[in-house]
Amino acid sequence: MSSNPAAQLNAAPSPTGWRALLGWRRVRTVGIVCALFILLFSFGWEPALWKLVARVFGVGLVLMLVFGLFELWPRRLPAWLPRWVLQVVAVGVAVPLALFVAFWLTDPAGAAPFWQTKRLQGYMTFTFLGMLVAPWAALAALLRQREAKVEKQAIDFELERSEMARQALEARMRLLTAQAQPHFLFNTLANVQALVETGSPRAPQLLQALTDYLRAAVPRLDGAANTLGQELELVRAYLELMQMRMPDRLAFALHVQPGLQGLRCPPMTLLTLVENAVQHGIDPSEEGGRIDVLAERLEGEAGKDGRCRLRVVDTGIGLQASGGGLGTGLAALRERLLWAYGGSATLGLQEVHPHGIQATIEFTPHSDATRP
């Protein structure tokens, strides 16, 4: 198909256009015009009324078929002859011919031909008015048809643009997720390497736990979204791994409100927060600390009813001691939330007294975001 809109409008319709030849909208328009003609000539009409009805509707049907015929045939036209000109001229030429046939067929049996009687004047009047109105009606129909084509093209372009935007969004989400995966894996491997270098007897056990964890976690990281239940499984495995590395300095607990396991969320949402709490909160602290992961639905809160809140609270060294920045992982997480929830999700950090950080995510689940 040509990308030139003018060429598309001037081109012959596809074979499916035959169905539009006797389409309801065309029949309705022709019927209205014919009814107006009948109403106009019915005043003072002396012959039987059925002759007037037959002639007007018969001619109207023929003109509609001529209009549709030259809309489809010939398939190609010379460049100097626009199709709409051919259709309008054909309708104008068809008016006297169709009226001639209509008058001839409705002549009384045995009567002289109409062109030899005073009925010739009626034929001339019908022909004059028909050639005056029919081409304009055809031109109006063409303009309406072209407007409909332009509207359909605009809708098609908008649908195509929306589809491209959706594909770009998915590609961006996968890119951000792909950036988060090596970030997490390299950090975990660095922790294992540090444990091995110190000669800890727990190193082989930790390495085996890491292997088991990666075997279960890596396949899930390829999806565009995980459920909150899957994300919590990863978080639990990660914290158990970190607890093996520093058993005397890390304690944790997960608090999940029932019914939230099926909520969908971007991959590594909670894991990014928990990893950040371990690296920048618990690990730098000599005393260690505790991490609490909480998931709840905000029922009954004004302005937040139906939203979900995820919190990761640690008792580590706090924002000021850690420099107060969001870091690469949290900045990427904020962008993933923006793409996934269109700005309705929020991510915030708060100081916890006497020390520690609370990271909070609030979002409104999509309508299909739950599973039975």
Q: What does the pLDDT look like over 259-281, one tens digit per residue? A: 888 888 777 788 888 888 888 88
pTM of this structure? 0.51
Exposure of 219 by Cβ count < 10 A (0-12 exposed, 13-18 middle, 19+ buried)?
A: exposed
179: pLDDT strictly greater than 50:
yes
Pick the residue with more confidence: 155 or 12? Answer: 155
Q: Where are the domains of the chain?
A: 18-108+118-170, 179-363
Side-chain-side CA neighbours of 93 within 13 Å: the count stands at 9
155: pLDDT strictly greater than 80:
yes
Per-residue model confidence (pLDDT) at position 370: 43
Pick the residue with more confidence: 91 or 212? Answer: 91
CB atoms under 10 Å from CB of 43, counted, come to 6
Per-residue model confidence (pLDDT) at position 302: 65
First to last CA, the chain: 46
The b-or-e profile of 144-166 (16+ CB within 10 A means b, else e) is ebeeeeeeeeeeeeeeeeeeeee
Q: What does the pLDDT look like over 30-42, one tens digit per residue? A: 899 899 988 888 8
Q: Which residue has the tokens 């398939």?
A: 75
Q: What are phi and psi of 304, to 5 degrees?
A: -130, 10
Per-residue model confidence (pLDDT) at position 264: 80
Spatial CA neighbour of 371 closest among 226, 258, 263: 263
Beta strands per DSSP E along 236-337: 250-256, 264-265, 289-298, 307-314
Per-residue model confidence (pLDDT) at position 21: 72
Mean per-residue pLDDT, 294-299: 88
Per-residue model confidence (pLDDT) at position 291: 94
Per-residue model confidence (pLDDT) at position 26: 85
Per-residue model confidence (pLDDT) at position 213: 67
290: pLDDT strictly greater than 90:
yes
Q: What does the pLDDT look like over 13-60, one tens digit per residue? A: 554 556 667 778 888 888 998 999 888 888 878 888 888 899 999 999
Mean pLDDT of the chain: 80
Per-residue model confidence (pLDDT) at position 276: 85
Per-residue model confidence (pLDDT) at position 369: 45
Q: Write the CATH number of the domain with boundaries 179-363.
A: 3.30.565.10
What single letter denotes the amino acid at residue 103? F
Q: Which of 83-87, 113-117, 280-284 reaches the highest mean pLDDT? A: 83-87
Per-residue model confidence (pLDDT) at position 57: 92
Pick the residue with more confidence: 74 or 246? Answer: 74
Mean per-residue pLDDT, 321-333: 65
Angle subtended at Cα 220 by Cα 218 and Cα 226, rounded to the nearest 5 degrees: 145
